[in-house]
Amino acid sequence: MKTALVTGASRGIGRASALRLAKEGYRVAVHYSQDAAAAREVVEQAGNGAFAVQATLGAPGAVEFLAEQVRQAAPTLDVLVNNAGIATGKSLSEETPGGFDQVFAVNVRDLFFLTQRLLPLIPDGGRIINITSGVTRIAFPGSIAYAMTKGAVQVFTLALAKELGPRGITVNNVAPGIIDTDMNAGWLRGNPDMQAYAAGRHAVGRIGQVDDIAGVVAFAASPDAAFITGTTLDATGGGNL
């Protein structure tokens, strides 16, 4: 049985992606930061020998701790989904050095070094999938540091795809639009005006659901995507077309 690691898999897009990959037959490593109960629930729903791994990305030693848990549980890692991330929601004038450093630590630095440490486990023909965002092609000054982190990940994806191509390992981005997740709940849920605004940003005329993104992740992990690498699978529902 093939193994997949999904970071930030206790909720939102990560949870949906973990469950979808389990449905496709993968044994899923469900990474979480704080909510052990939520991670256990995902593990139970996933079945297929799924297991939870804990690490607070952005904290010292988190990458090494997480990578070691995966190494102990799985001799090979066929799919790595770098989904975990945080947002600051601040403009240039509002952002602080601490907030800037933290969002880059989680979204860029630890993604980079986790991939580095897990790469020896990824066999030829494996998959690396990075969750980025539609903000890499849409001006988003209201959360400028967050948008910058996703741009950095896109550059990482491009370079890594070139490096790993000879081994048949594909590296792609999946870029969601506005998705109904806990991260967006504060401004989206229970606010009809904001829901209408968000839906209106998408050509398809609705807010995205986590399963919309999980399906794209599953495709990127599948044999059908073997000839796609170094690119972004735009899952924004036609955001800002």
Annotated catalytic sites, by residue? 146
Compute CA distances 198 → 25, 188, 206, whole Å: 34, 8, 7
Instruction: Please tell me the distance from the alpha carbon of residue 42 to that of residue 35, in angstroms, as a whole number.
Output: 11
**Do residues 17 and 213 touch, judged by C-beta distance below 8 A?**
yes
| Three-state DSSP class for residue 118 | helix
Compute CA distances 139 → 48, 91, 107, 207, whole Å: 41, 12, 19, 19
